[in-house]
Amino acid sequence: MKFPSLEDIRNAHLRIQPFIHRTPILTSTAIDEMAGCRIFFKCENFQKVGAFKARGAANAVAKLTEEQKKNGVATHSSGNHAAALARAASVAGIKSYIVMPSNAPEIKKKAVKGYGGEIIECEPNLQARETTLRAVVDRTGATSIPPYDFYDVIEGQATCALEMWDEHIPFDVIMAPVGGGGLLAGTALTTKYISPSTLVIAGEPAGADDAFRSFHAKKLIPMEGPKTIADGLLTSLGKLNFAIIMQYVDDILTADDTEIIEAMRLVYERMKIVIEPSCAVPLAALLKNKERFRGKKVGIILSGGNVDLGKLPF
Amino acid sequence: MKFPSLEDIRNAHLRIQPFIHRTPILTSTAIDEMAGCRIFFKCENFQKVGAFKARGAANAVAKLTEEQKKNGVATHSSGNHAAALARAASVAGIKSYIVMPSNAPEIKKKAVKGYGGEIIECEPNLQARETTLRAVVDRTGATSIPPYDFYDVIEGQATCALEMWDEHIPFDVIMAPVGGGGLLAGTALTTKYISPSTLVIAGEPAGADDAFRSFHAKKLIPMEGPKTIADGLLTSLGKLNFAIIMQYVDDILTADDTEIIEAMRLVYERMKIVIEPSCAVPLAALLKNKERFRGKKVGIILSGGNVDLGKLPF
């Protein structure tokens, strides 16, 4: 199968524009001084449903046939894709069935319910999620919209970098976190189509580093027993995402939980914005590898802001 | 003495523009739906030093004579004015001496030190602050820059509302928190000069309601034993501020700490921005008095974002 083209991504952006925010890019002189480079933060924490996932879900739902719409959509997700799909379905006036691990943050479950999604809980592992989702699809006839391993979703996530390039900033590097790989694959496609010399570098939690290991082994290595505060990045890298990443991503850097929390605190203290831990991973990776970024213009996608305020790690 | 005029305020804005941010106005459809009105949040939490206080301090320092600059500036402040004056002095290349109560939040002390201010600690009450400040001024010859009861400072704080009116939003109401009254007085002056029919309404913590009591008694009643989570609003209303408030402010509404924390949480969850408790008081007061604001266009000044992240009340 062919990767989404730049034209596909531009069309996706036109398709979803009525349903998403064009999020701002913020800067912080204090963080720039610490980092030794210029950082442009693309604030997807201000996105609808509080995360970039609104983009992919909106695109996937907008591409459904009228026939498919009748039975609604279904997915499994630890959180942000869940809320995003429930909202995209609700806006389109169709049903959504969301399989969520029992340990998903309360705030994310609440969001799904708020958008009218029907939650089906399962054990917190990939196998249970997939089995439960299959049962739901069999029962309802809903169309499954995978959270990341799906071109329509990747195409949607790719529109985030498209907006960054629209700002005419000559990025030397663009960074995104990597979990399932939807945002990273989309970001890499857009960036390499528009500016092949710009480096695309991912940030991944050291405690959930299957993308890092897969990237270096040049074969997909499934995640086993991930353990990190970055709860949005616990999933294994998807197959389609991996193929795109191998072709277009330049490097994957890891950061441990202490470094992730430190970067997260910096963003709260210096930028006065609320982000979730997953979101802080690229900044943590950059601060750990300052020499590689010295003097450069770096775009960092702040992927989401859905954090349990009662459980902040400060 | 004459109140600062609109021309004075416009001149102050020109004077301080190189040293401050023009902060954005943000909106939230979710909060609008809850409140039953349209709210425009002026985000001074994104201001330099994380609070509107950067404005008044920058204006006061810019107006010093060359002779005054030689001996530096001094003040007493529980926090944000302290950092603001230390920064304004540092930018101007002069010394600053900051009298701070011993119970001031660690993050605010750290900020003052970071800007090169010299901290002199005192007991956490107004008398101790004033005595200590007088001793510092006697010793150093520094010019005292009061945190709020001072026209140069009020003029500076008034530039915040000036930027709001520059956005051409036909506000029915503008709200600000009230502690010493610098921001409220400045906001009232600007607003009534530009749009006399717009209501200016303050939010004050029920546990530190000297402005509320003074406003209704029509005489200045000093604060006694304030107790509220809104640590930026513990000070007594200033004399100059009271005179302006009596002439130009339409009402003062109070909210208790539970309501303040609830409003604060709403802003974190829905807007994904970091604010300090003092900042949430006007929104808390609005949500408590929804019927008075129904269908109106309300500007709310989010005054600052300097909160001890380790002590969030969630």
Tell me, what's the ipTM? 0.91
Which of A 79-138 lie inside 8 A of B, CB atoms? Answer: 107
Is B1's pLDDT higher than 70? no
pLDDT of residue B107: 76
Q: Which of A264-273, B42-51, B97-106, B298-307 has the lowest mean pLDDT?
A: B97-106
Buried b or exposed e, range A270-303, using 16+ CB within 10 angstroms: bbbbbbbbbbbbbbbbbbbeeeebeebbbbbbbb
Residue contact B268–A46, C-beta within 8 A: no
pLDDT of residue B142: 98
Is B260's pLDDT higher than 80? yes
Instruction: Please tell me if residue B60 touches chain A, with a CB cutoff of 8 Å.
Output: no
Is B115's pLDDT higher than 90? yes
Residue contact A274–B265, C-beta within 8 A: no
How many angstroms separate the CA of residue B272 from the nearest CA in chain A?
Answer: 5
Model confidence pLDDT, tens digit, residues A155-190: 999 999 999 999 999 999 999 999 999 999 999 999
Is A28's pLDDT higher than 70? yes
pLDDT of residue A126: 80
CB A189 within 8 A of CB A158: yes
Active site residue A53: yes
How many angstroms separate the CA of residue A274 from the nearest CA in chain B?
Answer: 5
Q: What is the dihedral sign for C-alpha B75, B81, B83, B86?
A: negative
Task: Collect all residues of chain A within an 8 Å Cβ-Cβ radius of residue B310.
Answer: 314
Is B275's pLDDT higher than 70? yes
pLDDT of residue B235: 87
Q: Encoding tokens for residue B150? A: 């001072």
- Under the banding of pLDDT at 50, 70 and 90, the label for residue B104 is confident
Is B64's pLDDT higher than 70? yes
The angle subtended at Cα B236 by Cα B233 and Cα B242, nearest 5°, is 105
Taking Cα atoms as reference points, which of A208, A211, A206 lies closest to residue A182? Answer: A211
How many angstroms separate the CA of residue B310 from the nearest CA in chain A?
Answer: 5
Instruction: Please tell me if residue B266 touches chain A, with a CB cutoff of 8 Å.
Output: no
Is A134's pLDDT higher than 90? yes
Nearest to A312 among B24, B45, B312 (CB): B312
CA distances from B161 to A17, A129, B9, B246 (A): 32, 52, 10, 18
Mean pLDDT of chain B: 96
pLDDT of residue B7: 98
Task: Collect all residues of chain A within an 8 Å Cβ-Cβ radius of residue B46.
Answer: 271-272
CB B47 within 8 A of CB B111: no
pLDDT of residue A106: 82
- Under the banding of pLDDT at 50, 70 and 90, the label for residue A1 is low
Output the DSSP codes for B134-169: HHHHHHH-PEE--SSSSHHHHHHHHHHHHHHHHTT-
CB A239 within 8 A of CB A221: no
pLDDT of residue A111: 86
Is A78's pLDDT higher than 80? no
Residue contact A272–B305, C-beta within 8 A: yes
Instruction: Please tell me if residue B33 touches chain A, with a CB cutoff of 8 Å.
Output: no
Structural domains of chain A, with CATH: 6-51+150-311 (3.40.50.1100), 54-144 (3.40.50.1100)
% of residues, chain B, pLDDT over 70: 100
Residue contact A45–B272, C-beta within 8 A: yes
SS3 A192: helix
Dist CA B213 CA A129 (whole Å): 59
Model confidence pLDDT, tens digit, residues B6-56: 999 999 999 999 999 999 999 999 999 999 999 999 999 999 999 999 999
pLDDT of residue A251: 98
Taking Cα atoms as reference points, which of A203, A43, A261, A257 lies closest to residue B272? Answer: A43
Q: Which of B28, B78, B214, B303 is catalytic?
A: B303
Report phi then psi at B275, rounded to 5.
-130, 160
Sheet holding A199-205, edge to edge: A25-26, A38-43, A297-302, A173-177, A199-205, A251-255
Residue contact A50–B272, C-beta within 8 A: yes
Residue contact B314–A314, C-beta within 8 A: no
Q: Encoding tokens for residue A29? A: 């002189």
Output the DSSP codes for A58-122: HHHHHT--HHHHHH-EEEE-SSHHHHHHHHHHHHHT--EEEEEETTS-HHHHHHHHHTTPEEEEE
Mean pLDDT of chain A: 96
- Under the banding of pLDDT at 50, 70 and 90, the label for residue A105 is confident
Instruction: Please tell me if residue B30 touches chain A, with a CB cutoff of 8 Å.
Output: no
Is A205's pLDDT higher than 70? yes
CB A233 within 8 A of CB A204: yes
Instruction: Please tell me if residue A262 touches chain B, with a CB cutoff of 8 Å.
Output: no
Section A224-241 average pLDDT? 93
pLDDT of residue B103: 87
Residue contact B272–A314, C-beta within 8 A: no
- Under the banding of pLDDT at 50, 70 and 90, the label for residue A79 is confident
A175 burial (CB, 10 Å; 0-12 / 13-18 / 19+) is: buried
Dist CA B180 CA B8 (whole Å): 21
pLDDT of residue A124: 87
Active site residue B102: no
Buried b or exposed e, range A78-96, using 16+ CB within 10 angstroms: bbbbbbbbbbbbbbbebbb
pLDDT of residue A27: 96
